[in-house]
Amino acid sequence: MTIGTLIVGLGQIGMGYDLRLDPTAHVYSHARAFSLHPAFRLLGGVDPDVQRRRTLEHEYRCSAFTDVETALDSVQPELVVVAVPTPLHGDVLLRVLKRSKPDVVLCEKPLSYDLAEARDMLRVCKERGVRLLVNYMRRSDPGVIEIKRRLDAGEIGIPVKGVAWYSKGLMHNGSHLFNLLEYWLGGMVNARILEPGRLWDGIDPEPDMEVSFSSGRVYFLAAKEEKFSHYSIELLAPNGRLRYEKGGRQIVWQGARPDATFAGYTTVTDEMEIIESQMNRFQYNVAAQLALLLEGNGASLSDGDDALRTIESLTTIIGRT
């Protein structure tokens, strides 16, 4: 039995990112991921833009609708993907739940820019018995899961100290790295603003800040998206150095060892262990983890409670800017 899937929002993450790329090498959109994974069946998509609807119908041979209500009168999805702009997440979710009761809603990150709305979204899903997941897709990457395993096993020591570079707003894009570090290092203990920074797009703060997690301290620094995109994490552990580069497309571990030349000194080894990443198929990885979850198995995904904690932490920080 396949899981019927409806995508609300056919922009870049909904359909556009990989539209003209080789599907055997790149899976960046919900449309491609849920059309390729055998556990899912793409029933259709919703978007007010006529050209996007025509593209979906042509490329994916499924129905396209102008609005949520019309779509849910025509198809009965077990999975609804909310891939509209963040300010519309809450409204779309309520419209979906008013018309149907899917097993799962997969919402784009962040849940909301407004903490109260995010809490309401999670509350309504729980009241309706609908599982809410949030698309922090790095959580489903094999390399990220391997780092989590090594941290839990003590193969990467704690506490760590690190630096994370982000751009395009703390809530919009910085939350990706913040949520990832919560996954690796545990919840936020406290935070301190170093420099308030600017507002991205007039809405989203970009502070430089120091954040203490349960297992380490990380300095977040804001880059300028208009110059170039830059998303990276460097963590120094007691026994080595971890680099999460190029938005996660490259993950490198260098263990610590006694210096071969200078007695009494310890350095990181020149040998670089590449930890396999699959960021070229990040949305397919989410689909694969979701399939595991729906089969009753353990899965590496961000659920509503987890994503709400991220928003609560970031809202606390933003309140200090």
pLDDT in tens, 46-67: 999 999 999 999 999 999 999 9
Query: What domains can you pick out in the chain, each with its CATH number?
Result: 3-135 (3.40.50.720), 142-277 (3.30.360.10)
* 250-258 and 266-268 strand pairing: antiparallel
- Please give the share of the chain, as a percent, with pLDDT higher than 90: 96
- Please give the share of the chain, as a percent, with pLDDT higher than 70: 99
Nearest Cα residue to 105 out of 129, 123, 131, 128: 131
Nearest Cα residue to 86 out of 106, 108, 116: 108
What integer is the mean pLDDT of 196-202? Answer: 93
Rg of the chain (C-alpha set): 20
Instruction: Transcribe 29-60 into DSSP letters.
Output: SHHHHHHHSTTEEEEEEE-S-HHHHHHHHHHH
The pLDDT tens digits for 64-97 are 999 999 999 999 999 999 999 999 999 999 999 9
pLDDT greater than 80 at residue 170: yes
